[in-house]
Amino acid sequence: MIGCDCATCRSRDAHDRRLRPSIFIQTADTNLLVDADPDLRAQALAHDIRRLDAILFTHGHADHILGMDDLRRFNAMQKGPLACFGDAHTLDDIRHTFGYVFDPATPKGGGLPRLELFRIMGAFCAGRTEVTPVPLWHGKRAILGYRVGAFAYLTDCSRIPDESWPLLGGLEVLVLDALRERPHPTHFSLDEASDAASRVGARQTYFTHMCHDPLAYDGLVIHVQ
């Protein structure tokens, strides 16, 4: 966090250096990016990502879409537009935030990412990979998580609605929002995330979207006056 002197922000441990939330999913024949966050360029360079078959958007908050401009490089490498999937609200947010990209009056050229927006109405194929959207509540806003095979990514959620639990059976790996220990209006706290993780019952659950509030770990030394 900018301007913060807490132990997490001053830490030299690489695990305490967190960029904005996004994941890259690679199946046998398809490369999927979930969200285009403001750190997209640094993340794509660090992990040598060279091809994207589709981008799945969870919702339109700034920390999930403000890397859109970096997608231009993939347009150039792949010589074509990029397929972007999201719910109606998210696609509206993208059209609004990046109005110049979708304004026919903007001169065409290398300065614009070329995006084809597809509204999600249910399970769909991205490339040759089947993707199941998982409706979530992010505070009062309905957003989407995604399931691909036995893997699910549920970021930015404060509640999993009844209709989504059946979509989460038999998971090998679940990645789940767990912002911090204290409750938060739009994200799971650690307790809420632990309860949801137990109920989903994936073989392995990883927490994500953590803030800089400290979590306990082996070897932690705490000084109390």
Q: Is 19 an interacting residue with respect to Zn ion (CB under 5 A)?
A: no
Amino acid making up residue 34: V
- Tell me the residue ranges of DSSP E strands in the chain: 23-26, 31-34, 54-56, 82-86, 115-119, 124-126, 129-138, 141-148, 151-154, 173-177, 204-208
Return the range that interacts with Zn ion (CB under 5 A); candidates 61-69, 75-83, 97-105, 159-167: 61-69
- Minimum CB separation of residue 103 from Zn ion in Å reads 26
Looking at the Cβ atoms of 4 and 88, the one nearer to Zn ion is 4
Largest CA distance in the chain: 64
Q: Which of 4, 62, 88, 123 binds Zn ion (CB under 5 A)?
A: 4
Q: Is 156 an interacting residue with respect to Zn ion (CB under 5 A)?
A: yes
What does DSSP assign to residue 67?
T
Looking at the Cβ atoms of 154 and 174, the one nearer to Zn ion is 154
Return the range that interacts with Zn ion (CB under 5 A); candidates 7-15, 36-44, 82-90, 129-137: 7-15
Looking at the Cβ atoms of 9 and 123, the one nearer to Zn ion is 9
Q: Which of 1, 2, 222, 224 binds Zn ion (CB under 5 A)?
A: 1
The pairing of strands 115-119 and 124-126 is unpaired
Q: Is 18 an interacting residue with respect to Zn ion (CB under 5 A)?
A: no
Phi-psi region of 219 (alpha: psi -120 to 50; beta: other; left: phi over 0): left
> How many contiguous H segments (helices) and E segments (strands) does the chain have?
7, 11
- Minimum CB separation of residue 135 from Zn ion in Å reads 15
Q: Which of 72, 95, 180, 212 binds Zn ion (CB under 5 A)?
A: 212
Q: Is 159 an interacting residue with respect to Zn ion (CB under 5 A)?
A: no
As given in the structure block, the two tokens for residue 191 are 């307790």
Return the range that interacts with Zn ion (CB under 5 A); candidates 9-17, 33-41, 110-118, 127-135: 9-17
Q: Which of 63, 93, 177, 192 binds Zn ion (CB under 5 A)?
A: 63
Candidates 184, 131, 182; CA nearest to 156 is 184
What does DSSP assign to residue 62?
H
Residues lying near Zn ion in the complex (CB under 5 A) are found at 1, 4, 6, 9, 61, 63, 156, 212
